[in-house]
Structure 1
Amino acid sequence: MSTSEPTTSCELCGWIAAVLSIAAFGSFGVPIKSDAAKACDIDPLCMQTYKTVVCLLTSWIVLLWEPFSYTPWGIISGLFWVPGGVATVFAIKNAGLAIAIGVGGSCIVLVSFTWGILVFGEHVHNRIQASMAVALMLMGLVGMAYYSAPTVAHNAVMAEESSDGIFASPKTAAVRSYQEVELEDRSTPSSEHNDDSCRDGPGEDEVVTENEAVAGLKTASPPLGSPDVDTRVSIQEDLAKETSHILFCGIRWQRRLLGILAAAFNGCYGGSIMVPMKFAPPTAVGAAYVISFAIGATMVTAGLWFGRFLYHFQRECSFSQAYGRLPSFYFRQMWLAGGLCGLLWSIGNFFSILSVKYLGEGVGYSVVQLNLLVSGVWGIAYFGEVQGKETIIKWFISAVVAVTGILLLSYEHHAK
């Protein structure tokens, strides 16, 4: 009786901590997609630095109830977190919030479960059933990530819905836009067409501007079948290709694909972030580990900045020019978004550490990845990353599958 009550209490604390971590982790990416971040086009390492600084500043709060304790294992956790965090920021910017967190979360679940069950030998009732639960959870997470894909991440010219409910191709959409312009012209009095201000506008033979091509605006209304239709659609497709691709390591990548790969890197590499705590002394685990983690992350972040400076110095052979090549923090524009991002992540990290302490690596850190539910809701309701009633329904079905896997996994953990 006396031995079972503390265990139940500890596990309850672990589940409460997991829920709070889910809410915070699922929301920390929202400031990365804020208007301020978009306007500044903030560099991923700069955004990660905001997160690291806030993590360091808030970590000392644990001294209110925990004695100071430091372990160098926090540096190892920082080596996992900081590069993975940079990749996550890049993924959110280029692939979208929901799919970035979804792909990363799926990989993290697999990595943390492998560490907890196969390496640390954490207790489960039946390893086969637990593995099936993880597989079910991964299936749901992958489905959620798939249906959370931004509709315009890989195509700047978004297909319009036709009158019969079938999505039209970009060329069909362009033809329809010309038809709409023609109808407007026919309903406009002829005196307005003879206005000098209309005559001063661009003619049919002039090249369409980039903004007009991207927005689908038409400055003239040539007859259907005119070569201008195909020409302008070709311009739109070329501009779409430019905005949807990015040059990385000398290779031109599809922007959304590179973002998904970055999210997968964060999951596979950064999924081991809590493993070093297993080797820390008993006085430095749980909440006490937060300080060691924050100090280690700060050291790793500073190391990345120094390495980036050396890279530019090697190319420029000038300290001032190398410093000038470093990206700006845009502090006046980004202090609120960057600080909020770091604060939400720090809250999620603190409670995830407690979750791992009470529930174990395999269950605790895997359950925390349900933050995909929260980030997915942000993506659907706020950023509109999921379009169409049918797609949204499929996303929620995938969410139910993931939750089912979580419940089965928790059952396997509780069975003694």
Structure 2
Amino acid sequence: MSSSIFEGTFPQAILKQIPMWAMQEGAPFFALLQNDTNNNTNGTSPTDGQVPDWLGWVGVVACIIAWGTFGLPLKVKWIKEANMNPIVFQFYFSSMVLITSFIVLIWNEWYFSFWGILGAAVWVPASLLSLIAIHLLGLGVAQGVWSGVNIITSFTWGVALFHSEIGNPYLTALALILMVVGIVGIATCSKWNLPELLPASSTETKSLVNETVTHYDGNEENPEAPNTFNPEVQNNEQAVEQTIETTQEEEEYPTQPLSRKEKIVSILKSSKNYILGLACSVGVGVLGGSQFVPSRFEEKPGVVYVVGFGFGSAGITSAILVIYYIYYIIRYRVVLPFHPKVAVFPCITACLWQVGNVMATYVSMSSLGFTIGLPLTQASLVVAGICGLLFFKELRGWKAILQFFVSALVFLIPGCILLSLFGKK
């Protein structure tokens, strides 16, 4: 028995509103997108080659650009100044995913998949973790980690659950090794940015601390809104004075050089956020590589799967938001700020991500398919790294930059290509 409900022909009426000249001039393209409602495929289970190679390659490029840039709105100064809560950001994001999911109904009949809701239940936590990972690691490094883990996770699902046969075990093993080396290289390249473990001058300390006091204690743009991530932060001038005094004492009475063990401990302490960001990125990769597993159980898998996915993502995120909103009011005695003035940025993020999500479907429908096309879309991490380097200076110094590009171009991407060519018969 089919798991679908609410099937209808409403979207076909929309197609009829398209001018005849447009249908005639673009007939080959619309023929690729529109369903053949008499062949029982609903446009979702096409045979390989129904989408021409050129459209498959266009889809690969679109995915690389969209998925490589969708995190950029997270880094703009207005989002940083607003300090938007990740759950609020995810609410805007999921709402836009739901809205944009209806676009596929222009060339498909209405179809609702309950498996899409399950897929959304996997994706929403991954999306929340990605916000934290980008905040802690930066766009380029975070996406570099979860892209590689995503590929490995997808490959594992294919072999373990769907019994995909490995084409060449030796080259597949080599591909996985290259990917792991590339992931480690990308994940550690930002460590070159760590400052030396030396006490800062009192002037630098005062400047930094004064900036911190202004940030937390002088919120002129929105004086009623507390710090979203830490609403209990109050006037910290007393702590600032103690910090300055301690720093001055250290300068007057310099300590002995740190031993090797003390340096390691100090680095670990200073790397707490880095380790947390790395763990979040790995979680994003595992969940992201698993989010389309439910679609394999759908009787009519394909592009209209995103409709049920959109409803699921919006519904699950809304439920999380309601629970968190109640907790926030009880815990902090203030209303959770939604920052409507900057809501456009999570919406832009969602639109970019959804473009990649939809175009990836057409990549899978082409002859490039799952073995070549989809793995190549993970080259988006290079775009993300370049954007992080050019616009946000996330990697500073030639060592960090060199390690990033060597890890990506020499190890991770060749590993992806080998895996796509020899990982499946």
TM-score using structure 1 length = 0.70
Structure-2 residue corresponding to 1:137: 179
In 1, the alpha carbon distance for the partners of 2:254 and 2:346 equals 40
Shift of 1:276: 1.0
Aligned counterpart in structure 2 of residue 403 of structure 1, from 397, 406, 413? 413
CA apart distance, 1:9: 5.3
**CA–CA separation in structure 2 for the residues paired with 1:253 and 1:139:** 21
User: Match of 2:276?
Assistant: 258
**Superposition map of 1:187-206 within 5 A:** none
User: In the alignment, is residue 380 of structure 1 matched against residue 371 of structure 2?
Assistant: no
What is the CA distance between 1:364 and its match in structure 2?
5.1
Alignment check: 8 A CA contact 1:79 1:300 kept: yes
1:71–1:281 Cα contact (<8 Å) kept = no
Opposite residue 229 of structure 1, the aligned amino acid is E
Query: Partner amino acid for 1:108?
Result: N
Letter in 2 for 1:146: T
Distance 2:170 2:105 in 1: 41
Give the equivalent residue in structure 1 for 2:311. Answer: 295
- Does structure 2 retain, via aligned residues, the 8 Å contact 1:106–1:141? yes
CA 1:110–1:227: 2 relative to 1, 3 Å:
same
What is the deviation of 1:407? 2.3
Per-residue Cα deviation, 1:62-118 (whole angstroms, up to 9, x for no partner):
112121111100111111111110110011112211121122222211111111233
Does structure 2 conserve the Cα–Cα contact (< 8 Å) formed by 1:84 and 1:269?
Answer: yes
SS in 2 for 1:69: strand
Contact 1:103 1:267 in 2 (8 A): yes
Letter in 2 for 1:296: G
Counterpart amino acid of 2:106? L
Match of 1:72? 114
Q: CA deviation at 1:343?
A: 1.1
- C-alpha distance after superposition, 1:308-343 (max 9, x if no partner): 245457x56xxxx87x44x322011x1232221111
CA contact (8 A) 2:88 2:321 kept: no
The question of whether the paired residues in 1 share the 8 Å contact of 2:371 and 2:420 is answered with: no
1:61 aligned residue (90, 103, 111): 103
Structure 2 CA distance, aligned partners of 1:143 and 1:92?
Answer: 17
C-alpha distance 231-71 of structure 1, shift in aligned 2 (>3 A): farther
Letter in 1 for 2:408: A
Please list, as runs of the form range in 1=range in 2, the aligned pairs for 1:285-364 lying within 5 A after superposition.
Answer: 285-312=301-328, 324-325=334-335, 327-332=336-341, 334-358=342-366
Deviation larger for 358-367 or 128-137: 358-367
Are the counterparts in 2 of residues 22 and 371 from structure 1 also a CA contact under 8 Å?
A: yes
In 2, Cα distance between equivalents of 1:82 and 1:337: 18
1:392 matches 2:401: yes
Aligned to 2:209: 211
Contact 1:95 1:256 in 2 (8 A): yes
Larger Cα Rg: Structure 1 or Structure 2? 1
After TM superposition, give the deviation of residue 257 of structure 1 in Å.
2.1
Structure-2 residue corresponding to 1:105 = 147
Q: Which amino acid aligns with 1:73?
A: W
State the 1:279 CA deviation.
0.9
Alignment partners' CA distance in 1, 2:360 and 2:282: 20
Corresponding residue number in structure 2 for 1:170? 198
Give the secondary structure class of the aligned counterpart of 2:343: helix
Kept in 1, the 8 Å contact 2:120–2:291? The answer is yes
| 8 A contact 2:145–2:281 mirrored in 1 | yes
C-alpha displacement of 1:123: 5.1
Shift of 1:151: 2.4
Q: How many residues matched?
A: 333
Alignment gaps of 5+ in structure 1:
153-157, 160-168, 179-206, 216-225, 234-243, 247-251
Task: Specify whether residues 227 and 118 from structure 1 end up closer, same or farther in structure 2 by C-alpha distance, changes over 3 A only.
Answer: closer
1:229 partnered with 2:269: no
The question of 1:412 aligning with 2:410 is answered no
Equivalent position to 1:120, from 145, 157, 162: 162
CA distance in 2, matches of 1:227, 1:139: 44
> What is the root-mean-square deviation in Å for CA atoms of aligned residues?
3.6
SS in 2 for 1:305: helix
Aligned to 1:166: none
After superposing on structure 2, the runs of 4+ consecutive aligned residues of structure 1 that deviate more than 6 Å are none
Partner of 2:30: none
Specify whether residues 127 and 114 from structure 1 end up closer, same or farther in structure 2 by C-alpha distance, changes over 3 A only: same
Residues in 2 aligned to 1:209 and 1:383: alpha-carbon distance in whole angstroms = 22
| Conservation of the 8 A alpha-carbon contact between 1:77 and 1:276 | yes
Per the alignment, do residues 231 and 88 of structure 1 end up closer, same or farther by CA in structure 2, a change over 3 Å counting? farther
Q: Which runs of 5+ in 2 are unaligned?
A: 1-46, 214-247, 256-266
The 8 Å contact of residues 192 and 400 in structure 2, kept in 1 or not, is answered as no
Q: Does 1:281 align with 2:299?
A: yes
Tell me the alpha carbon deviations over residues 213-233 of structure 1, each in whole angstroms, 9 at most, x when there is no partner: 989xxxxxxxxxx85725899
Correspondence for 2:59 among 17, 39, 42? 17
SS of equivalent residue, structure 2 residue 69: coil
Structure-2 change in CA distance of 1:309 and 1:391 (3 Å)? closer
**Equivalent residues of 1:113, 1:366 under 8 A apart:** no
| Equivalent of residue 95 in structure 1, options 126, 132, 137 | 137
Q: Which one is further off, 32-41 or 364-373?
A: 364-373
TM-score in terms of structure 2 length: 0.68
- The correspondence for 1:81, drawn from 123, 126, 136, is 123
C-alpha change, 1:366 and 1:307, in structure 2 (3 Å) is farther
Counterpart residue type for residue 315 of structure 2? M
Give the AA of the match of 2:310.
Answer: A
Q: Distance in 1 between matches of 2:105 and 2:210?
A: 58
Distance 2:48 2:286 in 1: 34
| Contact 1:54 1:339 (8 Å CA) reproduced | yes
The answer for the alignment partner of 2:223 in structure 1 is: none
